[in-house]
């Protein structure tokens, strides 16, 4: 929560590396140049990380855990698309115009930077001083340049947008004048460049280097292999995946229900589904006459819609005798109790 100019950050794999960087910084002749830092620090989730903060101001540090990094996921998807669809993209006119316009805008910015550099006096002395002063001075110079560019873009946003639109229009007209690439060798070169960028995106999208290189190796094997071999390998992998899931389920079987739990769940599910059926039958989408004509016992169905039970007392008792091992005497007693209840 403090500005990068007011603190110095040291990063390493352990406390000894951080302490060594601090001692080197303390004994340096130009410690102020090393304040080119950032507020957001990325920690590799697969390696040990240690940071040290040197400042005289009060500060606070907040740790944010990203379970899914959208930037890295986007890089991975773009990399895979660039590797497998590079040949198609190299032949698409729309892709040619997008790359041409982007290159034109970037080239115009580089041209302005080169033009401004030519206006500086004593250019050779300045370059020699930057080379001899070390990376700290270069970092500091880049930080100042970035700060000035951001301030200019914030205060003169309309000029920046106008320049980008103008350079993009000129680039589009140049691309339209020469047309898309039709030479086979040029298309192959564009395809190889796209695939190289795709592999670079895949490498940058995975934090662990071993995993990224393994994934790149699998991508290259899948790209080189014929389609039939790729389908066969995917089929075998799917088969092994299913076998592994089956073995895992057999190793950790789900807990079985007791008889009481089974009866309770069956009663709750039956009650819920009967309620849904009754609501559907009383709704506007239910054609009563067409459905009632095909029933064996229409009066019973009408009573069910009106709120009565879906089974009669005799059917319930017959079910208890067959499945719950209830004796005939108990069934007779239940029938007598029901008749007495109805008479009452």
Q: What is the pLDDT of residue 133?
A: 53
The rounded distance, in Å, linking the Cα atoms of 219 and 83 is 8
Q: Which residues contact 152 (CB under 8 A, 6 or more apart)?
A: 160
Which pLDDT does position 132 carry in this prediction?
Answer: 53
How many helices (H) and strands (E) in the chain?
A: 15, 2
Task: Say if residues 43 and 54 touch (Cβ distance below 8 Å).
Answer: no
User: Is 82 buried (19+), middle (13-18) or exposed (0-12) by CB count in 10 A?
Assistant: buried
pLDDT score of 325: 59
The H or E element that residue 10 is part of is strand 7-12
CA angle 193, 199, 203 (to 5 degrees): 145
Separation CA 95–CA 79 (nearest Å): 16
Which DSSP string do the residues of 129-151 spell out, in sequence order? HHHHH-HHHHHHHHHHHHHHHHH
The 10 Å Cβ neighbour count of residue 83 is 21
- For residue 16, give the nearest of 55, 44, 52, 45 by alpha carbon: 52
pTM for the whole structure = 0.53
Length of the chain: 344
Q: Is the dihedral of CA 112, 113, 115, 121 positive or negative?
A: positive
Residue 130 is predicted with a pLDDT of 55
pLDDT computed for residue 340 by the predictor: 45
- Cα dihedral: 188, 190, 193, 197 (round 10): -130
Give the helix/strand (H/E) hosting 7: strand 7-12
What tens-digit pLDDT sequence spans the chain (344 residues)? 666 667 778 888 888 888 888 887 777 655 544 445 567 777 877 778 888 888 887 888 888 887 777 888 888 899 888 888 888 888 888 888 888 888 888 888 777 777 766 665 545 555 555 555 555 566 666 666 667 777 777 777 888 788 888 888 888 888 888 888 788 888 888 888 888 988 999 988 888 888 888 888 888 887 887 777 777 777 888 888 888 887 777 777 777 788 888 888 888 888 888 888 888 877 777 766 666 667 777 777 777 777 777 777 777 777 766 766 555 555 555 545 544 444 43
Burial class (CB in 10 A: 0-12, 13-18, 19+), 69: middle
E strand or H helix at 54: strand 50-55
pLDDT confidence of residue 344? 38
pLDDT of residue 339: 47
């Amino acid at each position: 929560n403090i500005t990068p100019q007011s603190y110095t950050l040291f990063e390493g794999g352990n406390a000894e590396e951080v302490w060594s960087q601090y001692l080197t910084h303390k004994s340096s002749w130009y410690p102020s140049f090393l304040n080119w830092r950032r507020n957001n620090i990325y920690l590799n989730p697969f390696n040990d990380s240690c940071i040290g903060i040197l400042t005289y101001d009060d500060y606070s540090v907040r740790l944010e855990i990203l379970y899914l990094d959208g930037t890295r996921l986007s890089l991975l998807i773009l990399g895979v698309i660039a590797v497998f669809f590079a040949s198609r993209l190299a032949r698409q006119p729309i892709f040619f115009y997008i790359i041409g316009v982007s290159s034109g805008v970037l080239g115009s910015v580089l041209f302005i930077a080169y033009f401004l550099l030519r206006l500086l006096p004593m250019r050779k002395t300045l370059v020699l001083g930057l080379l001899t002063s070390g990376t700290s001075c270069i970092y500091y110079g880049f930080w100042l340049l970035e700060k000035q560019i951001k301030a200019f873009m914030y205060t003169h946003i309309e000029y920046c947008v106008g320049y980008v639109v103008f350079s993009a229009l000129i680039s589009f007209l140049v691309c339209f004048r020469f047309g898309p690439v039709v030479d086979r060798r040029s298309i192959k070169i564009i395809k190889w460049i796209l695939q190289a960028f795709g592999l670079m995106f895949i490498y940058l999208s995975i934090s662990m280097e071993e995993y990224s290189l393994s994934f790149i190796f699998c991508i290259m094997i899948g790209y080189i292999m014929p389609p039939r071999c790729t389908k066969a390998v995917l089929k075998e992998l799917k088969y092994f995946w299913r076998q592994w899931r089956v073995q895992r389920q057999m190793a950790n079987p789900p807990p079985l229900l007791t008889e009481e739990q089974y009866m309770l769940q069956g009663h709750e599910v039956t009650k819920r589904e009967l309620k849904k059926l009754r609501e559907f039958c009383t709704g506007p989408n239910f054609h009563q006459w067409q459905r009632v004509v095909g029933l064996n016992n229409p009066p019973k169905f009408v009573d069910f819609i009106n709120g009565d039970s879906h089974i009669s007392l005799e059917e319930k008792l017959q079910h208890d005798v067959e499945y719950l091992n209830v004796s005939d005497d108990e069934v007779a007693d239940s029938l007598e109790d029901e008749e007495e209840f109805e008479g009452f």
